[in-house]
Every structure is written in structure tokens, then in C-alpha cells.
């Protein structure tokens, strides 16, 4: 079953989160350009990208696979932000709250898809 990713709340939220992450990364030191900054941006972009890619797949099983990748990327992003908080003293709590909300939404969609099968 195909889904229009642009209509999915989890995609909209994770897309907005990725944009917010890019703003946050502008506060990181220049020497982190190819280090933590790059990793954070990659993880953040991976979340909406995998939701979008999965939504275009022809089966719910494939969509679930990409939702699992998206949620895994969100855990990776959370870990990287906690490192930023500890190393660079950045306040990331509000972003982490948004990540947790997005994780719950992805989990809810996964349960919904599984209940249809």
C-alpha cells in the first residue's frame, strides 16, 4: 500500500526537525564540519528520507523496514545531540523532546500498519 509521504505527520515533523538540526549545527565549531556536524546532519536527513522512501514502496512490509531505519536514525541523532550537549554545552533538550515525539509517532504508525496485516 503506497502512502503520500507529504501527507504523513511523521514526515512533516521529521522534515521540520531536520531543518532545525541544520540551524543548530551552525553553532558547532568549524573544525566539526567533517566530524560530529556531518554525522548529525546525516542522521537528521535520514529520518524523513527513509519515511519518504518507504512510503513509495509497494508493500507494507517494505514500508515497515524503512520506518525501522528512520527510527534507528532518530536514536543515532539523539546520541549525537547528547554528545553535543556534553562536549559543546549546547542546549538540545527541546530538540530531543521533538525526537521522542517523532519516535512515538513512528511507533504508532508501525503498530497501525501491523494491525492491518
Using pLDDT thresholds of 50, 70 and 90, give the confidence band for residue 3: confident
pLDDT at residue 1 in the model:
55
pLDDT at residue 61 in the model:
94
Count how many residues are written for the chain.
117
The model's pTM: 0.93
Q: What are the structural domain ranges in the chain?
A: 5-116
- Mean pLDDT for the stretch of residues 74-91: 96
Q: Which fold has domain 5-116?
A: de novo design (two linked rop proteins) (1.20.1440)
| pLDDT reading at 76 higher than 70 | yes
What's the pLDDT tens digit per position in 17-50?
Answer: 999 999 999 999 999 888 999 999 999 999 999 9
Alpha helices in the chain (DSSP H): 9-25, 36-55, 60-88, 93-116
DSSP 6: G
Question: What are 104-108's contacts with CB under 8 Å, separation 24+?
Answer: 105/9, 105/10, 105/13, 106/10, 106/51, 106/67, 106/70, 106/71, 106/74, 107/71
Amino acid at each position: 500500500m503506497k502512502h503520500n509521504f507529504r501527507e504523513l505527520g511523521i514526515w512533516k515533523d521529521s522534515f521540520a526537525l531536520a531543518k532545525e538540526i541544520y540551524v543548530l549545527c551552525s553553532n558547532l565549531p568549524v573544525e566539526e564540519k567533517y566530524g560530529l556536524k556531518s554525522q548529525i546532519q546525516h542522521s537528521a536527513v535520514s529520518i524523513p528520507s527513509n519515511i519518504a522512501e518507504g512510503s513509495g514502496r509497494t508493500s507494507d512490509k517494505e514500508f515497515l523496514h524503512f520506518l525501522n531505519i528512520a527510527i534507528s536514525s532518530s536514536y543515532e541523532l539523539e546520541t549525537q545531540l547528547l554528545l553535543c550537549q556534553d562536549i559543546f554545552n549546547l542546549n538540545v533538550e527541546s530538540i530531543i523532546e521533538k525526537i521522542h515525539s517523532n519516535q512515538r509517532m513512528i511507533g504508532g504508525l508501525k503498530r497501525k500498519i501491523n494491525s492491518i496485516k
